[in-house]
Homo-oligomer: A and B are copies of this chain.
Amino acid sequence: MPHELKELNEECGLFGVWGNPHAAAITHLGLHTLQHRGQEGAGIVGLTPAGLRRHYGLGLLSEVFTKPEDIAELAGPAALGHVRYATAGGRLLENIQPLLFRFSTEAMALAHNGNLTNARSLRRDLENDGAIFHTTSDTEVLMHLLRRSPAATFTGQLIDALNQVHGGFAFELLTEHGLYAAVDPNGFRPLVLGTLPDGGTVICSETAALDAVGADFVRDIQPGELVSVTANGVTTQQYTTNTTLSVCSMEFIYFARPDSQIHGVNVHQARLAMGRRLAQEQPADADIVVGVPNSSLSAALGYARESGISYDLGLVKSQYVARTFIQPTQALREAAVKRKLSAVRAVVEGKSVALVDDSIVRGTTSKQLVRLLKNAGAKAVHLRIASPPLRFPCFYGIDIQSTRELMAANHSISEMRDILGADSLGFLSTEALEESVNLDPTAPHRGLCVAYFTGEYPTPLYDYSAELQKELALLHIKVSEVSA
Quick one: CB contact mask for A40-56 with B, threshold 8 Å, 1 for yes? 00000000000000000
A241 within 8 A of B: no
Total copies of the chain: 4
Check if A411 is an interface residue, CB within 8 A of chain B.
Answer: no
Q: Does A416 contact B (CB under 8 A)?
A: no
What distance in Å separates the Cβ of A307 from its nearest Cβ neighbour in chain B?
15
- Closest Cβ neighbor of A198 among chain B residues: B331
Closest to A211 in B: B342
Q: Which of B32, B144, B339 contacts A132 (CB 8 A)?
A: B144
Is B332 in contact with A22, judged by CB distance below 8 angstroms? yes
- A301: chain B residues at CB < 8 Å are 311-313
**Cβ–Cβ contact A71 & B331, under 8 A:** no
Encoded as 1 (CB less than 8 Å from any B CB) or 0, chain A from 99 to 110 comes to 001111100000
Q: How far is the CA of A36 from the CA of B326 in the complex (A)?
A: 23
Q: Is the CB of B133 within 8 A of A29?
A: no
CB of A124 within 8 Å of the partner chain: yes
Interface residues of A in 301-324 (CB under 8 A from B): 301, 305, 310-313, 316-323
Number of A positions contacting B (CB below 8 A): 90
Q: Is the CB of A104 within 8 A of B132?
A: no
CB closest residue in chain B, given A140: B132
* Contact of A134 with B by CB under 8 A: yes
Which of B71, B136, B213, B320 is A32 in contact with, Cβ under 8 Å?
A: B320
- Cβ contacts under 8 Å, A312 to chain B: 301
Tell me how far the C-beta of A376 lies from the nearest C-beta in chain B, rounded to whole angstroms. Answer: 8
Chain B residues whose CB sits within 8 angstroms of the CB of A258 once the complex forms: 313, 316, 344
Q: Max chain B CB contacts within 10 Å: which of A65, A68, A305, A328?
A: A328
CB distance from A147 to the nearest CB of B (A): 5
CA–CA, A336 to B143, complex, Å?
34
Task: Given A147-B130, A259-B342, A312-B301, check contact A62 B101 (CB 8 Å).
Answer: no
Which residues on the B side are within 8 Å of A322 (C-beta)?
Answer: 32, 61-62
- Kindly list chain B residues whose C-beta atoms are within 8 Å of the C-beta of A310: 305
Cα distance A135–B132 in the bound complex, in angstroms:
12
A332: contacting residue among B62, B213, B319, CB under 8 A: B213
Task: Report the separation of the CA atoms of residues A346 and B316 in the bound assembly, to the nearest whole angstrom.
Answer: 26
Cβ of A104 and Cβ of B124 under 8 Å apart?
yes
On whether A102 and B323 interact (CB within 8 A), knowing A332-B25, A338-B212, A346-B268, the answer reads no
In contact, B132 and A327 (Cβ under 8 angstroms)? no
What's the Cα separation between A322 and B42 when bound, in Å? Answer: 13
Q: How far is the CB of A278 from chain B (nearest CB, A)?
A: 17
**Minimal beta-carbon separation of A340 from chain B (angstroms):** 9
Interface residues in A11-33 by Cβ distance below 8 A to B read 22, 25-26, 28-29, 32-33
A323 touching B131, Cβ below 8 Å = no
A residues whose Cβ falls under 8 Å from a Cβ of B: 1, 3, 22, 25-26, 28-29, 32-33, 35-36, 60-62, 65-68, 71, 93, 101-105, 120, 123-124, 127, 130-136, 140, 143-144, 147-148, 197-198, 208, 211-214, 257-259, 261, 266, 268-269, 294, 297-298, 301, 305, 310-313, 316-323, 325-329, 331-332, 334-336, 338-339, 342-347
A-B residue pairs in contact (CB < 8 Å), sample of 17? A26-B335, A60-B320, A62-B321, A65-B325, A68-B325, A103-B127, A103-B133, A104-B123, A130-B130, A130-B148, A131-B131, A131-B132, A213-B332, A258-B316, A266-B344, A266-B345, A297-B313
